[in-house]
């Protein structure tokens, strides 16, 4: 979820009702390999009576494997950075979420930037 969430940030997740979820919300879930993942909600649907959720990290190009309702654990409500706290229902967080969801060149740029950064850190 870089750069919105960075190493050392403290994230606060809370329980939520499914009807509260909106596109752009960051949700903590357990993926198929039982790993904890916090990614942004891209879309959701109901197929055969089963709700399915699609998530993607802010720097990821591809969408994650579909997630079912029973895999969802919490919704991000705040990020504590060194000197301040960002509330995810504030205007800045909402604008960032909208940009990441709907302006794909930003996501592509961030993907390339993080790949280059990880490559340099390995050297």
Residue 3 domain flag: no
> How confident is residue 104, by pLDDT bands cut at 50, 70 and 90?
confident
Residue 35 domain flag: yes
Buried-exposed string 29-60: b where 16+ CB fall within 10 A, e elsewhere:
beeeeeeebbbbbeebeeeeeebebbbbbbbb
Average pLDDT over residues 50-72: 92
> How confident is residue 117, by pLDDT bands cut at 50, 70 and 90?
low
Residue 17 domain flag: yes
Residue 5 domain flag: no
> How confident is residue 26, by pLDDT bands cut at 50, 70 and 90?
very high
What is the largest distance, in Å, between two alpha-carbon atoms of the chain? 50
Spatial CA neighbour of 23 closest among 63, 70, 80, 81: 63
CA dist., res. 68 & res. 52, Å (int): 5
Tell me the pTM. 0.84
Residue 2 domain flag: no
CB 26 within 8 A of CB 57: no
Residue 1 domain flag: no
Counted domains in the chain = 1
pLDDT value of residue 111: 80
For residue 118, pLDDT beyond 90: no
pLDDT value of residue 68: 94
| Residue 101 structural domain | 10-122
Provide the CATH number for the domain around residue 23. Answer: 2.30.30
CB 40 within 8 A of CB 110: no
Which run of H or E residues covers position 54? strand 50-56
Return the residue matching tokens 């909600």. Answer: 41
For residue 1, pLDDT beyond 60: yes
Residue 83 domain flag: yes
> How confident is residue 102, by pLDDT bands cut at 50, 70 and 90?
confident
> How confident is residue 56, by pLDDT bands cut at 50, 70 and 90?
very high
């Amino acid at each position: 979820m870089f750069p919105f969430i960075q190493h050392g940030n403290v994230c606060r997740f809370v329980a939520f009702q499914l009807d509260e979820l909106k596109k752009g919300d960051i949700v903590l879930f357990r993926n198929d390999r039982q790993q904890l993942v916090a990614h942004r909600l891209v879309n959701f649907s109901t197929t055969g009576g089963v709700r399915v959720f699609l998530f993607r990290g802010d720097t990821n190009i591809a969408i994650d494997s579909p997630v079912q309702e029973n895999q969802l654990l919490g919704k991000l409500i705040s990020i504590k950075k060194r000197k301040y706290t960002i509330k995810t229902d504030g205007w800045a967080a909402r604008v960032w979420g909208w940009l990441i969801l709907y302006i794909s060149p930003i996501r592509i740029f961030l993907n390339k930037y993080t790949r280059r950064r990880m490559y340099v850190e390995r050297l």
